[in-house]
Amino acid sequence: MKAAVIIKPGHIEVKEVPTPDVQEGDVLLKVNACAICGTDQRVLSGEKKVDVDIVGHEIVGTVVKTGEGVKDIHPGERYAIQTVIGCGHCAMCERHQENLCENGFKAIGYQWDGGFAEYMIMPKIGVDQGCLIPVPEKMSDEVATLMEPLSCCINGMRYIPLEECRHVVIFGGGIIGVLNALVAKARGVEEITIVDISKDRLELHKKLGLPFNNWIDSSSTDPVDWIMKKTNGKGVDAVVVAASVKSLVPVGIQMLARNGHLSIFAGMPKSDPVEPLDLNLIHYLELHIHGANSSVYRDYIEAREMLELGKINGEQLVTHRFELEDFNRAVEVQKNPAEGSLKIIINT
């Protein structure tokens, strides 16, 4: 089979590798589509370490073969892939919160080969956990790849009472920022403001007709001043930091109204994750600070429903499509905001 293989950081070759075969309890899938995400970029460049040479975790595939003992999964069926696989034994896994596995979860595209290949294996432990999510017949492969990133946003937003929020600010205009904003919109938030340092990215939102209200170019506008003027000094109900820039956390806190919520959705650089905060703002304004770490089965089911029912228009978000042979070109397009990409799909 063909696969995009990491030879060394920053050097990826699309080449022939052996097609994997199933062991007891495994499922072999033909990868239909796999989308590129920001974390993939960090892995491909060598910034983030993984255990495999074939990555990609926003995957939709069709079952080709099942190992001995697999029940209720059959060749020809189409599934999205739940990325996170827990140990199955700790208190968190017993509560089906594998993303908080006390023994450290493993993941497709991190500890097992991912979807930038023609075929992939869902290992027995993932099959047993329920990591194959059925795709509705009328949903396209491209839209179904959005289940994984959308599920992460649903998980991160779970702690915020969005139905009670009027105005939410999202830092980051990439696909994750957009999906967080669309979850907020779908749950009834009236006003959405996107903040990004890239004017090209903000203009792309408008070109695509995304249903947001305000866009702040933080390269030329102080977002705190803008928000405070907009809200007559009261602040907003919630802020989501969907960009891996640690200095945005204290900026977001300054935007919050009393009893406001801030979600640190994006992971920060492990080499330098510490940032000073004004703790008195949290104390006196009774602010709520939340983390967000991947997603679990319930989040995929909600994501599938949002896409299937049209609460979120997945087709609108796919801007580029590449064949596996053009993988390196796809990576370069995603890196550059001027290229006008939001979600890039690799079709295999």
Q: Is residue 152 part of a domain?
A: no
Partners of 5 in the beta sheet?
13
User: What local confidence, expressed as pLDDT, does residue 60 receive?
Assistant: 98
- Report CA torsion sign: 177, 182, 183, 188: positive
Give the three-class secondary structure for 101: coil
pLDDT digits (tens, 9 = 90+) for 165-194: 999 999 999 999 999 999 999 999 999 999
Assess whether 171 and 131 both reside in one domain.
Answer: no
Tell me how many degrees the CA angle 181-187-188 measures, rounded to the nearest 5.
95
Distance CA 218, CA 292 (A): 24
Per residue in 8-38, pLDDT (tens digit) is 999 999 999 999 999 999 999 999 999 999 8
**Range 312-332 average pLDDT:** 97
- Render pLDDT for 298-316 as a digit per residue (tens, 0 to 9): 999 999 999 999 999 999 9
11 & 44 share domain: yes
Domain co-membership, 217 together with 121: no
Could you tell me the pLDDT band of residue 121, with boundaries at 50, 70 and 90? very high
Do 325 and 213 share a domain, yes or no?
no
Neighbours of 296 (CB within 10 A): 26
Same domain, 228 and 342: no
Q: Residues 332, 229: one domain?
A: no
Tell me the percentage of the chain whose pLDDT exceeds 70. 100
The pLDDT of residue 269 is: 84
Q: Over the Cα atoms of the chain, what is R_g?
A: 20
In a domain, 153, yes or no: no
**Averaged pLDDT, 270-295:** 96
The single-letter DSSP state of residue 323 is E
**Two structure tokens written together for 50:** 């993984």
Task: Report pLDDT for 6.
Answer: 97
Listed residues 249, 276, 291: the one ending a domain: 291
Residue 47 is predicted with a pLDDT of 87
Nearest in space to 54 (alpha carbons), one of 125, 110, 127 = 110
Mean pLDDT of 254-269: 96
Nearest to 31 by CA among 11, 71, 6, 1: 1
Q: Is residue 246 part of a domain?
A: yes
Tokens 């594998």 -> residue = 98
Residue 293's pLDDT band, with cuts at 50, 70 and 90, is very high
Q: For residue 53, is it within any domain?
A: yes
State residue 21's pLDDT score: 95
Residues 121 and 211 in one domain: no
Asked if residue 219 and residue 271 are part of one domain, the reply reads yes
Tell me, yes or no, whether 308 lies in a domain: no
Helix 248-255 and helix 223-230, axial crossing angle in degrees, nearest 10:
10
Is residue 211 domain-resident?
yes
Query: Is a pLDDT exceeding 90 seen at residue 271?
Result: no
Whole-angstrom distance between the N-terminal and C-terminal Cα of the chain? 10
Q: Both 340 and 275 in a single domain? A: no
Rounded mean pLDDT, 251-269: 96
Number of other CB atoms surrounding residue 263 within 10 Å: 25
CATH of the domain at 50: 3.90.180.10
Q: Is the pLDDT of residue 262 over 90?
A: yes
**If pLDDT is split at 50, 70 and 90, which confidence band does 270 have?**
confident
pLDDT in tens, 55-114: 999 999 999 999 999 999 999 999 999 999 999 999 999 999 999 999 999 999 999 999
Beta strands in 172-250 (DSSP E): 191-196, 214-217, 236-241
Is it the case that residue 237 has pLDDT exceeding 90?
yes
Cα(303)–Cα(286) distance, integer angstroms: 31
Q: Which residue blocks in 89-187 are alpha helix, DSSP H?
A: 91-94, 124-129, 141-144, 147-157, 175-186
Note whether 172 and 140 are same-domain residues: no
CATH number where 253 lies:
3.40.50.720
The three-state secondary structure class of 224 is: helix
What range defines the domain where residue 322 resides?
A: 2-146+314-347
Q: Give the model's confidence band at 289: pLDDT under 50 very low, under 70 low, under 90 confident, else very high.
A: very high
- Same domain for 173 and 132: no
Residues 128-150: tens digit of each pLDDT: 999 999 999 999 999 999 999 99
Interval 212-228: pLDDT, tens = 999 999 999 999 999 99
Q: Judge whether 301 lies within some domain.
A: no
> For the chain, how many structural domains are there in total?
2
| Tokens (6 digits) for 148 | 């994984």
Q: Establish if 43 belongs to a structural domain.
A: yes
Question: Do residue 174 and residue 224 come from a single domain?
Answer: yes
Q: Which residues of 278-291 are buried (b: 16+ CB within 10 A; e: fewer)?
A: eeeebeeeebbbbe
**pLDDT confidence of 7, banded at 50, 70, 90?**
very high
